[in-house]
Amino acid sequence: MEAMIALAGNPNCGKTTLFNSLTGARQHVGNYPGVTVEKKEGIYRLNGHRFNIVDLPGTYSLTAYSLEEVVARDFLINEKPGVVINIVDASNLERNLYLTLQFIEMGMPVCIALNMIDMAYSRGIKIDHEALSRLLGVPVVPTMARSGQGKEDLIRAARQVLEKEGGRTELKISYGPDIDVGLDRMEAIIREADFMTDTYPSRWLALKYMESDEQIRCLGKQRDAQTAEKLEGIVQEVANHLQLTIDSFPEAIIADYRYGYIRSVLKQGVISYSGDRNRLFVSDKIDKVVVNRFAGPLIMLGVLLGLYHFTFTYSEVPVAWTEAMFGWLGGMVDTYMSDGLLKSMIISGVIDGVGGVLGFVPLIMFMFFGIAILEDSGYLARVAFMLDRVFRTFGLHGSSVMAFIVSGGIAGGCAVPGVMATRTLKSPRERLATLLTVPFMNCGAKLPVFALLVAAFFAEKEALMMFAITIVSWIGALLVAKLLRTTVIKGASTPFVMELPPYRLPTFKGLLIHTWERTWQYIKKAGTVILGISIILFALMTFPRLPTDQTAVFDAQREALRAAQPASIASEPDAAADGTDLSEAARAVHLQLLKIEAAEAEAALRHSIAGRVGTGLETLSRWAGLDWRTNIALVGGFAAKEVIVATLGTAYSLGAVDPEESRSLSETLARSPQWRPLTALSLIIFVMFYAPCFVSLVCIVREAGSWKWGLFSMVFNTILAFTLSVAVFQVGRLAGF
């Protein structure tokens, strides 16, 4: 037998744990068509049967308000899974059954997994699952997803539901006399007109109309405007009547009666409590300290710093390995390929570009692992709870903090995992505002630029300046978030109504699966696009090449230099390529040669498209005090911010610039006539706010679900950065700096 099983349930009911336990590593993560909601599928085999298991997004209800709910609902209606396994948290039965009722009302073949039955028992809750099964008319199987107990019984029960085709008992809940009469009338009309009955059950349609469900009403209008109007008329009648008699509305009454129904079921011997139902459990005792007014923020600071430390310290070694591996690969190509355009494209374009992206992989894995621990243990919800008041002021959400921290909120993160960390945010508008503003944080690649400039121009106030830079980026990000939320992403804040789940020890398997699937998505998506873009950027910085008459000038200079030396000294630099063990005179020659090479590189760069763009932009950038060399560095910085310092080095004719030599670059800048502290300040501001690097951009596009937002952040951020740095430069100039 082959069948599709959908797993559904509230968030935090142990759904993912059960899914992992059923499918193990045989899972596939994708997206539901057209939206960014994750769709997880996996295969479970039992006695030669093959079950395709789909993990639906965790929801509390099935309204049309949130994306997750619409997705879950559409999936059930369109894909018609053979059975819906509804995972229900046994220690939280009353609220969990609210969703169950909606599945049953939809006419779905349901099988209940009464999960975490052990936890309920330890909390003094006893559940008669057979009574529950009898009253609801669906099978109920006690399970413990963490240990996998009850898993096979559950699948067996699900199979029975699968085989019992058509023999479903339809549950008809009474919603009180007024609504019931309305529903009956509507159902009759729906049946008579065959109104969307091919896809939806008639009673459910009537109910959704009564609940003023936007999605269904829209569909109804398109299908059969006349019938839709009739139905809406009835709803209006009922609504008016309820308004007059009990000052309420259908939607509210339906929810009341649903909970009323659940309570009446539970009272019929299903559940019994020993001890106080709301007594404090371990979790509540932990919360007394963890969200305490004074201790809470301190602990939070410690935890966030810990995550940060964990991610960026422990990933250093594997990041170095990856870098070494790509370095080795580049070396191999360098040794075994003949010189030429193809070789330099493979080294500078492909290996450096793709290597730059894949170099992030260990970092991303560590970050996701850390976040998975915070998320699965329940701590993340507490962070959101504590910080919501602050972030809401700027149109964001308490959960936004994680993304900001990871992106470099404590200087030195990375916007790529930061953008991806916004996934823990469930409110769409707040999420979009967060992922568009996290690139303003000072990531590890911007830091060298700041360090260079601060060392050159503000050496006596280094620590203070770096701190100020962090503060300015936070203020900027929050204000831009506020701006976005009052303009392009306008809209009321999504209700915060959120559960604080009990603390749970995350399962190691769950953490690993969590970490790996997110990392793999990054590798797949960013890895493929970046290859093409790296090649394009390489081409932009290489073509058109210097005309031969110009290269001839440099060749002539080299020849002249060599010719001026005795033969033994002139050939020495070639023999010992690394520049060591040279005689005094040969070293001077070597240095001269490097200078010529750098000058040639500069000329070539200036001649390339990127260089021409940089030169062309000078008329504009002069307003911010920046010259064409800086412009080229900034254009290159779009590929990766690490490029800025390197390109500045090349453009300022300093020959090979490696991090150890950045001091000398800063000295040169400090002595250069084009540079003064104000210029440095202007550049710092520009680098802080301008377009996110390409990898971040790819992630933004992916997470926001459209190129539109990627383009927006590129253009908007650059204009913002330019405006700010012009303002800084011009005001500073007028003030006499």
Partner 1 sequence: MPRVNMRQMRSKQSGTIAAITAAGELGRRIRDMGLVPGTRITVQGRAPLYDPVALRLMGFTLTLRNSEADYIDVEVDD
The smaller minimum CB distance to partner 1, of residues 252 and 576, is found at: 252
Residue 371, exposed/middle/buried by CB under 10 A (0-12, 13-18, 19+)?
A: buried
Q: Which residue has the tokens 């033969």?
A: 567
Q: Which member of 46, 135, 189, 291 binds partner 1 (CB under 8 A)?
A: 291
Query: Nearest distance from residue 27's CB to partner 1, in Å?
Result: 29
Query: Nearest distance from residue 427's CB to partner 1, in Å?
Result: 11
Query: Nearest distance from residue 492's CB to partner 1, in Å?
Result: 8
The smaller minimum CB distance to partner 1, of residues 325 and 390, is found at: 390
Q: Report whether 100 contacts 60 (CB < 8 A).
A: no
Query: Nearest distance from residue 200's CB to partner 1, in Å?
Result: 20
Query: Nearest distance from residue 385's CB to partner 1, in Å?
Result: 5
The smaller minimum CB distance to partner 1, of residues 260 and 677, is found at: 260
The smaller minimum CB distance to partner 1, of residues 92 and 115, is found at: 92
Build a one-symbol-per-residue string for 296-315: x at contacts with partner 1 by CB under 8 A, - elsewhere. xx------------------
**139: helix, coil or strand?**
coil
Q: Which member of 11, 52, 67, 95 binds partner 1 (CB under 8 A)?
A: 95
Backbone dihedral angles phi then psi of residue 198, each to the nearest 5 degrees: -70, -30
Residue 42, exposed/middle/buried by CB under 10 A (0-12, 13-18, 19+)?
A: buried
Report if residue 79 touches partner 1, rule: CB under 8 A. Answer: no
Q: What is the dihedral of CA 347, 351, 354, 358, to 10 degrees?
A: -150
Report if residue 516 touches partner 1, rule: CB under 8 A. Answer: no
Which of the ranges 30-38, 194-202, 383-391, 547-555 carries the binding residues for partner 1, by CB under 8 A? 383-391
Query: Nearest distance from residue 706's CB to partner 1, in Å?
Result: 23
Backbone dihedral angles phi then psi of residue 33, each to the nearest 5 degrees: -50, 125
Report if residue 504 touches partner 1, rule: CB under 8 A. Answer: no
Which of the ranges 32-40, 416-424, 494-502, 704-712 carries the binding residues for partner 1, by CB under 8 A? 494-502
The smaller minimum CB distance to partner 1, of residues 384 and 633, is found at: 384
Query: Nearest distance from residue 125's CB to partner 1, in Å?
Result: 8
Cα–Cα distance, 518 to 421 (Å, whole number):
10
Which of the ranges 73-81, 167-175, 488-496, 670-678 carries the binding residues for partner 1, by CB under 8 A? 488-496
Report if residue 61 touches partner 1, rule: CB under 8 A. Answer: yes
Q: Report whether 418 contacts 403 (CB < 8 A).
A: yes
Build a one-symbol-per-residue string for 20-59: x at contacts with partner 1 by CB under 8 A, - elsewhere. ----------------------------------------
Which of the ranges 87-95, 403-411, 508-516, 718-726 carries the binding residues for partner 1, by CB under 8 A? 87-95
Number of residues forming the site for partner 1 (CB under 8 A): 43
The smaller minimum CB distance to partner 1, of residues 286 and 714, is found at: 286
The smaller minimum CB distance to partner 1, of residues 277 and 671, is found at: 277
Cα–Cα distance, 688 to 433 (Å, whole number):
18
Report if residue 431 touches partner 1, rule: CB under 8 A. Answer: no
Q: Which residues does 548 contact at the CB level (< 8 Å), separation at least 6? A: none
Report if residue 175 touches partner 1, rule: CB under 8 A. Answer: no
The smaller minimum CB distance to partner 1, of residues 256 and 559, is found at: 256
The smaller minimum CB distance to partner 1, of residues 209 and 729, is found at: 209
Q: Which residues does 6 contact at the CB level (< 8 Å), separation at least 6? A: 53, 54, 56, 75, 76, 79, 81, 83, 84, 85
Report if residue 284 touches partner 1, rule: CB under 8 A. Answer: yes
The smaller minimum CB distance to partner 1, of residues 390 and 576, is found at: 390
Cα–Cα distance, 105 to 110 (Å, whole number):
10
Build a one-symbol-per-residue string for 232-261: x at contacts with partner 1 by CB under 8 A, - elsewhere. -----------------x-xx--xx--xx-
Q: Which member of 463, 497, 505, 563 binds partner 1 (CB under 8 A)?
A: 497
* Cα atoms found within 13 Å of the Cα of residue 67, Cβ hemisphere only: 17
Question: Of 432, 469, 439, nearest to 454 (Cα)?
Answer: 469
Cis peptide before 544 (omega within 30 of 0): yes
Report if residue 126 touches partner 1, rule: CB under 8 A. Answer: no
User: C-alpha distances in angstroms, 263 versus 59, 137, 191, 267?
Assistant: 20, 16, 32, 6
Strand partners, 110: 84
Helix or strand holding residue 354 (H, E): helix 352-358
- What number of other Cβ atoms are within 10 A of residue 179's Cβ? 22
Q: Which member of 21, 23, 86, 92 binds partner 1 (CB under 8 A)?
A: 92
Encoded tokens for 328: 């080795």
The smaller minimum CB distance to partner 1, of residues 25 and 252, is found at: 252
The smaller minimum CB distance to partner 1, of residues 390 and 471, is found at: 390
The smaller minimum CB distance to partner 1, of residues 60 and 729, is found at: 60
Cα–Cα distance, 476 to 63 (Å, whole number):
37
Strands of the 2-9 sheet, one edge to the other: 27-31, 38-46, 49-55, 2-9, 83-89, 110-115, 140-142
Cα–Cα distance, 155 to 111 (Å, whole number):
9
Cα–Cα distance, 90 to 121 (Å, whole number):
9
Report if residue 216 touches partner 1, rule: CB under 8 A. Answer: no
Which of the ranges 47-55, 60-68, 347-355, 656-664 carries the binding residues for partner 1, by CB under 8 A? 60-68
Q: Which member of 36, 52, 67, 98 binds partner 1 (CB under 8 A)?
A: 98
User: C-alpha distances in angstroms, 551 versus 393, 604, 606, 613?
Assistant: 59, 9, 13, 21
**413: helix, coil or strand?**
strand
- What number of other Cβ atoms are within 10 A of residue 192's Cβ? 10
Query: Nearest distance from residue 101's CB to partner 1, in Å?
Result: 12
Q: Which member of 15, 123, 590, 629 binds partner 1 (CB under 8 A)?
A: 123
The smaller minimum CB distance to partner 1, of residues 237 and 499, is found at: 499
Q: Which member of 79, 94, 130, 237 binds partner 1 (CB under 8 A)?
A: 94
Report if residue 286 touches partner 1, rule: CB under 8 A. Answer: no
Strands (E), 119-249: 125-127, 140-142
Helix or strand holding residue 43 (H, E): strand 38-46
DSSP letter for each residue of 604-667 = HHHHSHHHHHHHHTHHHHGGGT--HHHHHHHHHHTT-THHHHHHHHHHTT--S--GGGHHHHHH
Q: Which member of 166, 167, 177, 495 binds partner 1 (CB under 8 A)?
A: 495
Q: Report whether 64 contacts 213 (CB < 8 A).
A: yes
Build a one-symbol-per-residue string for 264-283: x at contacts with partner 1 by CB under 8 A, - elsewhere. -------------xx-----
The smaller minimum CB distance to partner 1, of residues 17 and 63, is found at: 63
Q: How far is CA 609 from the centre of its chain?
A: 34
Which of the ranges 71-79, 291-299, 594-602, 628-636 carries the binding residues for partner 1, by CB under 8 A? 291-299
Encoded tokens for 731: 């005001």
Build a one-symbol-per-residue string for 385-414: x at contacts with partner 1 by CB under 8 A, - elsewhere. xx-xxx-x----------------------
The smaller minimum CB distance to partner 1, of residues 385 and 623, is found at: 385
Q: What is the dihedral of CA 648, 653, 655, 660, to 10 degrees?
A: -50
The smaller minimum CB distance to partner 1, of residues 47 and 278, is found at: 278
Encoded tokens for 168: 């479903």
The residues that touch partner 1, with contacts defined as CB under 8 A, are 60-61, 63, 65, 91-92, 94-95, 98, 123, 125, 249, 251-252, 255-256, 259-260, 277-278, 284, 287, 291-294, 296-297, 385-386, 388-390, 392, 494-502
